[in-house]
Chains A and B, each alone.
Chain A
Amino acid sequence: GAVVSQHPSWVICKSGTSVKIECRSLDFQATTMFWYRQFPKQSLMLMATSNEGSKATYEQGVEKDKFLINHASLTLSTLTVTSAHPEDSSFYICSAPDPSGGYEQFFGPGTRLTVL
């Protein structure tokens, strides 16, 4: 199957700083990628849809000015958590759809963010 990577796998930062998380499709192109957030012992919640060449689409309740998404190329989407606070500490996972159009989603390994 297609491979999606994320970097970094974990990050610890101070409150008020910004953190960038990268999501890459390694062996295929993805015009669309998805960003999910998972709090401890909870399921994944979709944050936003990242679109190559256009603005991201954010789910209700997700602040677009706080969670900046840039789909810079057909293989890279970045999520920047700006002015991070402890409540932003979470597991962030990205996914990309099957490039052959089969609707299967391929997930990255996730990034653990801890804000002190």
Chain B
Amino acid sequence: KQEVTQIPAALSVPEGENLVLNCSFTDSAIYNLQWFRQDPGKGLTSLLLIQSSQREQTSGRLNASLDKSSGRSTLYIAASQPGDSATYLCGGNAGNMLTFGGGTRLMVKP
């Protein structure tokens, strides 16, 4: 059974810093990995999707990488802004359903 872990559980950084969020999964037979953002009391906003054949995806200040052999994915956020404050979730897809990590609560301080 797929297990997904996110480290750190919480992170507080000053505005402008570059940061890395980590996601690890136990079953390397995943089809893809999705990164989401969730604001308090809200649903999920899809940020990036990395197919199993890809190694990274980029969107604006966000870059996500995938290393299936080591069971890891990272989300890199460049030049962080207060508006980036949210919970970031990764989800591994080994079929149609997603298995989520516990999330990283990010606070970017002005």
Measured CB to CB, the residues of A under 8 A from B are 1, 32, 34, 36, 42-46, 49, 91, 93, 95, 97, 102-110, 112
What are the 6 A-B residue pairs with the smallest beta carbon separation, nearest first?
A109-B43, A110-B43, A107-B44, A103-B31, A43-B100, A44-B100
Question: A residues within 8 A CB of B31?
Answer: 103
In the complex the two chains form, what is the Cα distance from A97 to B34 in whole Å?
Answer: 12
In the complex, per-residue mask of B21-34: 1 if CB is within 8 Å of any chain A CB, else 0:
00000000001101
Chain A, residue nearest B98 (CB): A105
Known A-B contacts A44-B100, A105-B91; the reply to A1 vs B32 at CB < 8 A is no
Interface SS majority for chain A: strand
In the complex, per-residue mask of B88-101: 1 if CB is within 8 Å of any chain A CB, else 0:
01010100111111
28 A-B contacts (beta carbon < 8 Å):
A1-B46, A32-B96, A34-B96, A34-B98, A36-B100, A43-B101, A43-B103, A44-B91, A46-B98, A46-B99, A97-B96, A102-B51, A103-B31, A103-B51, A103-B93, A103-B96, A104-B32, A104-B34, A104-B49, A105-B34, A105-B46, A105-B93, A106-B46, A107-B36, A107-B44, A110-B42, A110-B43, A110-B44
Q: How large is the interface on B (under 10, 10 to 19, 20 to 34, 35 or more residues)?
A: 20 to 34
* B71 contacts the other chain (CB 8 A): no
Interface SS majority for chain B: strand
* B41 contacts the other chain (CB 8 A): yes
Q: Which listed residue (A34, A106, A110) contacts B97, Cβ 8 A?
A: A34
